[in-house]
Each structure stands twice: as structure tokens, then as C-alpha cells.
Amino acid sequence: MWKEFKAFIARGNVMDLAVAVIIGAAFGKIVTSLVDGVLMPPIGMLLGKVDFSNLFIVLDSAKGIPASVADAKAQGIPVLAYGAFINDIVNFLIVAFAVFMVVRTANRLKSKEEAPAAEPTTKDCPYCLSAIPIKATKCSHCTADL
């Protein structure tokens, strides 16, 4: 069983998948940083100084109204943190677009490699074996009817 496992791990597909997962995790952190630190603050400013990561709805106001999502969590107040959800949607859209672009590029490269051969424009005369146009009805070399 150990030999089978080593053979499985050594296969190219498993290694490619492992590299993809590691790069994907790093890319996810970069996108999260981009959304939280670069994209959402200007959008929040345009919408009236809104901090999307701190948008929430208090579900139980019996314990009071917290100032932030972090305060609500610390006090154990149930909140619906829809601002974080908006940030996560933006993260997802950026990652999905990046994956789409990678797959699109890979498909284009793959289709160029697998391009079918061009249709032939000539054929050989069965009598003199000279190259003649496909639509020819008479050989221009030996004048045989085709």
C-alpha cells in the first residue's frame, strides 16, 4: 500500500493540484487584501463614508446596540454581518474572473495546438499523378477526363 501511495503522490496530476492549491490560497489572500484595503474603502467613500466590513443588523437588541461587528462578537450579541458578505462576494467575483481568464487562455493555447489541418486544394490525377485542382474535371497535364 505504501508503494501505491508513493506512486500516486509522484504522479504529475497530484503535484499540479498541490501547486494549484498553494498558489490559489496565496492568490486568495492577495485578493482579500485588495478588496478590503484598496477597492472597498473608495467605494465606501463614494457611498457616504460607509465601512462595508462593519455593516451589520442587530438580531437581538436586548443586550444593547454594539458599535461594531467585533463588539457584537465580544458581547455575544447576534448580528447579521452583511457587510462582510458583500466583501466576500467581491472577493469571489475577482477570483472567479481570474480563474475564467486562466481557463480561457489555456483553452486558446490548447485549441491552437490541436488546430485541424487545412483542407487540401489539389488532388493527384489518377492517370499521370500530376497535382491538379480539386474541382478539375480534366487533367491539365495529360488531358484525361476525370
pLDDT in tens, 51-80: 777 888 888 877 788 888 888 888 888 888
Phi-psi region of 139 (alpha: psi -120 to 50; beta: other; left: phi over 0): beta
Listed as ranges, residues in the chain with pLDDT below 70 are: 9, 11-12, 15, 113-117
Do 95 and 41 sit in the same domain of this protein? yes
Within this chain, do residues 107 and 124 fall inside the same structural domain, yes or no?
A: no
In a shared domain, residues 17 and 47: yes
What is the number of structural domains in the chain? 2
Half-sphere exposure of 112 (CA within 13 A, CB side): 6
Which residue range(s) make up the domain with 139?
Answer: 117-146
Burial of 26 (0-12, 13-18, 19+ CB in 10 A): exposed
> From the centroid of its chain, how far is CA 31?
13
Under 8 Å between Cβ of 66 and 58: yes
Domain presence at residue 68 = no
- 11 and 48 share one domain: yes
pTM (predicted TM-score): 0.55
Three-state SS sequence of 64-102: CCCCCHHHHHHHCCCEECHHHHHHHHHHHHHHHHHHHHH
Residue at 6 is within a domain: yes
Please report whether residue 89 resides in a domain.
Answer: yes
